Every structure is written in structure tokens, then in C-alpha cells.
Chains A and B, each alone.
Chain A
Amino acid sequence: MTVSVTPSSAKEDADTGRTSGRALLIKRTTGLITAVIALVLVVLASLAIGARDMPVTEVLDAFFAPTGSDDQLVVLELRLPRTVLGILVGMGLGLAGGLIQALTRNPLADPGILGVNAGASFAVTIGIGFFGITSINGYIWFAFVGALLTTVGVYIIGSSGPTRTVDPIRLTLAGVAMAAVLTGLTKGILLTNERAFDSFRSWDVGAIAGRDFGAVTAVLPFIAVGTVLALALAHSLNAVALGDDLAASLGTSVNRTRVLSILAVTLLAGAATAAAGPIGFIGLMIPHIARWIVGPDQRWILAYSVLLSPILLLASDVIGRVVMKPGELQVGVVTAFVGAPVLIALVRRKKASGL
């Protein structure tokens, strides 16, 4: 991430007028291109680095001049699905985080606020404890259904308020409450069932290793639909950020925007959590970092989130493979350790950015 931090766009616009608007556009676009290049580099690193390191040429050969050697099989059968899954999961979490923060107008909101993580964990626990599921690929559907049902429940409670619309504060409280109940139940089951506890703890840490292309194809459609929906909503979210009344007078249907955003968050975060387990940091923090770079425009925040999140996730995954060689550190652990110091440095450097 070589992008420099720019001052808030609104301020700059106000100070120097149109010319700086153009400069800003150039700056944002340059940043975007830098991010794309960084993403490509990280993808190559993710394919080349691991228990068995290989030169990038060998990786490229695996695609363009396949010989069927062991190294090429490692790349195609193990690292490729892992890398693709990393990109999808990263995108899903980062976008969902950006959406939920815009939606609740709360900088502390993350996709977990809608109960996604708690619901997925609870369903996986049920799957392990009562249905005897043990394979990573078997958890996916349990996690996804759990995340979906919980979000629907949170949405029903959160939108049952006096105004019959989606009230962000009620939604947040409903999510916190629902997550608490489900977490309690999950812990209750796990602490009385040693075998379930044993299987659960390896899912709970959050990892993208050991998944095959089945996992990729299972979550791909949901993340694709969610991404399209999220990017289509960016414009309306900009209006909603101005306040409900102003947004309505600008012709944006506030309620429809909120409902569709919740749908997108559910698809994105639900699918990502189903595939990789609960990974906490990305959805919360990448949108902040994106906001610090590009200012308050949701279209740019979401676009940057799409790129920055997979960079952080894949870079963390690669670091996780290197630091404990020949063993591995799960990506869910590394993400926080890589991201948190960056965040603390940023928050100390910048004036605090609200929404």
C-alpha cells in the first residue's frame, strides 16, 4: 500500500475549486492503479511462496506451459484455489464493512454487527455437535445458512420500530443483542461437548488454507451478486449520508437503499465467513483506511475497499506461510497483527475521521 494519505476531499474542493477537483481525480486514479499493481504482485507472491518456494517463472509456466510437474500441481491444485478464495473473501469482507458503516453511519460498525459471525459460528457448532460434520467444506453451507437467518432476524427486530423503516441505531442494538444470545448458546454447547469444541476451534481462527475449488464455486455467485449490488448502491449511499430527509428530497429512496444494502452485506459477509471462518479486522478497518485516502465519497471508498481488502488478506496469508515455516499461521491471526499497527499509525497521524 504505497498510496499517500490525502486531506479530506471536501475541504480541498472548497479551498481551490475545480482545478483541484481534477488533481484529486488524478490522485485517486493513480492510487487505484497502484492498488491494482500491488494486488497483482500479492497474487503472484501467494502463488509462489509457501512450504515449497518457487520462482515466478515456474508459476507462470504452470498456467501457460503446463508440464504436470509436482511444483506446477502445487500451484494449480493448492495455491490457486486458496488465492482465488483469498481474493473473494477479502473483497466480501471489505465491501460489507464499507456498506455497513455507511448504512449505520457508525464508524465502529463491522459486518459482525448484523450477527453474521455469531450466526455462522452458531450454525457451524450445531453442524459439528448434532450432525457430525467434520470437513471444512461441509461447514460452508451451515455457516452460510446461519449467517443468513441471523441477519434476517436482526433485520426484523431492527426494522420493527415506530417508523416502520430501518433505523440504524435499532439495527445496531438488535445485532448486538442477537449476537450476544447466539454467542452464549454457542459457548454453552461447545463447553459441554469436548469433541465439538475441538473441531470448532480450528474453524474459529479463520483460514483460507485447505479449501478446494468446491469452496470457491460455492461462494463465488453470492460474492459476485453482492459486489455488483454494493457498487450499484454507492451513489444512493452518498445521498443517504447527507441525512434521511435530504436524501429523500434528492430522489433517493432511503428505505430501499437500506434494505438492498443489508441484502448485499448479508451475501458478501455471509459467503466470506462461510468460506474462511470469522475474520474480524478487515471489514472494520479497511473502509477507514480507504476513507482516509479518498475522502467521504462512497463510490471511491467501495472501489478502494474492493482492492485493499484482498491485498491485506493475501499479504497476511503469505506472511503466515513464511513466519512459521514449515508450519503456517492462519490468516485470521496474521490479518490483525499486520493491520492493527498500520491503523494505529494512521490514527495517530491523521485527525480523526468521522463519517
Chain B
Amino acid sequence: MKTAPTRLESTAMNIDRSVLPGEKIDFGRPMLRIFGQRIDMRVVMTVGIVTLLALACGFAGLMLGKFSLTPGEVFQGLFGQADRRIVNTVVGEWRAPRIIAGIVLGAGLGVSGAVFQSLTRNPLGSPDIIGFSTGAYTGGIVTIIVLGSGYISTALGAIIGGIATAALVYLLTWKGGVQGFRLIIVGIALTAMLNAFNTWLIMRADLELAMAAATWGAGSLNGMGWSTITPAAIVTVVLALACGLFARDLHTLELGDDTAKALGVRNEPVRAALILVAVALVAVVTAAAGPIAFVALAAPQIGRRIAKAQGTSLLASAAVGALLLVGADLIAQHALGDIQLPVGVVTVSIGGIYLIWLLVQEARKAK
């Protein structure tokens, strides 16, 4: 399961190779200095471009729909200045919260995935390995089936389910320390039980409730309003910034526990804090939009490849996450005419197709 492909080599591809056969010299890449932090120019550029693309998708989302608008009308509507009252409502009240949700929650998922993949040093690492998503799904279904579908109760149920599962996995793994392989096996075992339980609940419930639970379980931005997204967005941004504070320690930890320690990072507290923040991020997103699959998994991988960054880049990952979710939501809303798909269905498909494309591409390059 060790990947971490050799980024160092690819950044130095074009350098004169006459020094020694098989040996390359890396002269580094242009760096930007902000507040004493060195930031890679290519990462900055990539993040800029991807963010612009995400905003463009968001703008398209504001224009499209049953009530389609011109770009001018959208601008007017955004500031509440449109001549026709209805435009203000459509843009400001109906469509804007959904777009904001796509961008902010997508970025949140990207950051959380990046933290988990960085901490586990595994490209398949995601909040799933400690059972969070499955537990959240269980909590969500149980509340929908027992209390009926309501936003706040479902969100609460999801958060309680997710955190309880994560805590249980952690406790069952604990035996004078948490060992990686044991954590994974316990996580899988509990996830298997919960999955079975979820399928059974869905199978026994009334068809209508079961559909509602399954739709919520796929992750959806349908019907997102300001009352939902405002608190969720604020918390997401704060937590993402908190991750940003740890970014340097995170990169140091990627070098290995011993090296990090030697470089002055207090491994255990930093790791615990990062896990806590990353889980909280997923919890907030899940509460607002349901368990959206694959963004946390794919965003760090995609971001890292297009930014050609060394190690995981939180910024690139956040930007790609935002683009993925907003773009996928655009497709989910408009691809099938009147039928609205849950966005999670689209993120899974797009992420999978991208991964296949990447594999085929690598094969072609190698020939």
C-alpha cells in the first residue's frame, strides 16, 4: 500500500542529466515568501486557476435552471438590485446558498481528506477508516426512520453516530497505544457490522422513508438554504484554517515519526489535534449535506498531481475539493433534465472515471 510516488524526480525532469548517469539535480522551484512561509509558486498558480474554475462553475450554477438568467441579471440579483423582484429571490435565496455550500463544503472535505492521507501516509486513507462515515449514515438513517426526515434531527443523528463510531473504534483499538494495523482491522470490523445494519434498516423501512434515507445517504445539496449553510460554512472555514495552522507540522510528520520528533514536532499531541479537527470537519459537512463520497479521497490525489507538489498540499486539496463538489452538483442538477440526482452519486462516478483515466494515462506514458 505504499505509494507516495517519487515527486522529487518528476520536478527535476528537465535538468541537465550529464552530471552522473541516473542522478538528477533539483534546483528547486520558484518560491513565494509570505510572512516568512515559503510557498511554492506552482501551487499558488494551480490553486488560483482551480479556484477560478470553481467560481466559474458556481456562476454557471447561478444562471442555469428552470428560470434561466443572463450573467448581468445574476450580478444584479447577487446584490439585490435586479429590476424584477423574482430575480433577487431566485439568485439570492434559492441558488446562492447551494453554490456557497458546494464551494465551502467541498473545500472542507478536501482539507479533511488531505489531513487523513497525510497522517496515514496512505492514498486510500480517509475518514472512513475509523468508521466515521458509516456511523454517520447509521445515525442519519435511524433518525429518519424513527423521527421522520427533518434537517436538524438528521444532522444531529449523523454527528452523534459518526463520532460515537469513531470513538468506539479508537477505544477498541486502544491497548497501551493505538497500533496502525489494529486500528484498520477494528475499523473494518465495525464498519462491516454497521453496513449490514444499514442495509437491513433500508430493507425493512417503508419505501418512502427508505428512499429518503438512501437519498440523504448519497449526499445531496438539494434544498440547501441560508439557515443550513451559514453556520456550517462558518464552522468549516474556521476548522479548515485551524488545519492550516498545523500544515507545517503535518508536512514534517510525513517524513516519519522519528524525523519529525528530531525536528521538534510533538508527534502525539499534534496528531491527536489534527485527527480531531479533520473528523470535526467531516462531521460538519455530513451534518449539512449527508455523507458525500469520494471528494475527501480524490481531492488530495488530484490536487497533488496537478500542483506537482511535494507531499500533500492542503491549499490545492481544498481548491480541488471545492471545484469537484460545485462541478458535480452542476451536473447532478442539470444533466438529467427535471430529475435531480444527489450530488454524491455524481462525485463517486466522476472520481472513479478520473482515477481510471489516470491509470490509463500512466500506462500510455510508460510505453
Verify B348–A181 contact, CB threshold 8 A. Answer: yes
Verify A180–B351 contact, CB threshold 8 A. Answer: yes
Across the interface, A202 reaches (CB within 8 A) one of B172, B203, B218, namely: B203
Interface string of A316-338 (1 = CB under 8 A from B): 00000000000001101111110
Say yes or no: is B127 at the interface (Cβ < 8 Å to chain A): no
Say yes or no: is B20 at the interface (Cβ < 8 Å to chain A): no
| Cβ distance A237 to chain B, nearest Cβ, rounded Å | 19
Chain A residues with CB under 8 Å of B203's CB are 201-202, 204-205, 330
Contact size class for A?
Answer: 35 or more
Say yes or no: is A106 at the interface (Cβ < 8 Å to chain B): yes
Within 8 A of B (CB), among A143-196: 157-158, 160-162, 169-170, 173-174, 176-185, 187-188, 190-192, 194
Verify A333–B199 contact, CB threshold 8 A. Answer: yes
Verify B199–A180 contact, CB threshold 8 A. Answer: no
Say yes or no: is B116 at the interface (Cβ < 8 Å to chain A): no
Dominant secondary structure at the B interface? helix
Say yes or no: is A344 at the interface (Cβ < 8 Å to chain B): yes
Say yes or no: is B336 at the interface (Cβ < 8 Å to chain A): yes
Verify A280–B192 contact, CB threshold 8 A. Answer: yes
Known: A191-B218, A205-B200. A162 touches B192 (CB 8 A): no
Contact size class for B?
Answer: 35 or more
- A158 CA / B1 CA spacing, docked (Å): 15
Say yes or no: is B342 at the interface (Cβ < 8 Å to chain A): yes
- A348 CA / B175 CA spacing, docked (Å): 8
Name the residue of chain A whose CB is nearest to the CB of B347: A184
Say yes or no: is B105 at the interface (Cβ < 8 Å to chain A): no
- A194 CA / B359 CA spacing, docked (Å): 35
Across the interface, A354 reaches (CB within 8 A) one of B181, B218, B350, B367, namely: B181
Across the interface, A332 reaches (CB within 8 A) one of B199, B336, B339, B350, namely: B199
Say yes or no: is A108 at the interface (Cβ < 8 Å to chain B): yes
Chain A residues with CB under 8 Å of B185's CB are 288, 343-344, 347, 352
B43-51, B85-93, B206-214, B274-282 - interface stretch: B206-214
Say yes or no: is B146 at the interface (Cβ < 8 Å to chain A): no
Query: Which 10 interchain pairs have the tightest Cβ spacing?
Result: A180-B352, A162-B366, A184-B349, A181-B352, A177-B355, A184-B348, A352-B181, A340-B189, A336-B196, A336-B192
9 contacts between A and B (CB under 8 A): A106-B1, A177-B352, A178-B352, A188-B346, A285-B192, A329-B200, A339-B192, A340-B189, A348-B175
Known: A197-B214, A333-B199. 8 other contacts (CB 8 A): A108-B1, A108-B184, A177-B355, A181-B353, A191-B345, A192-B339, A329-B200, A348-B182
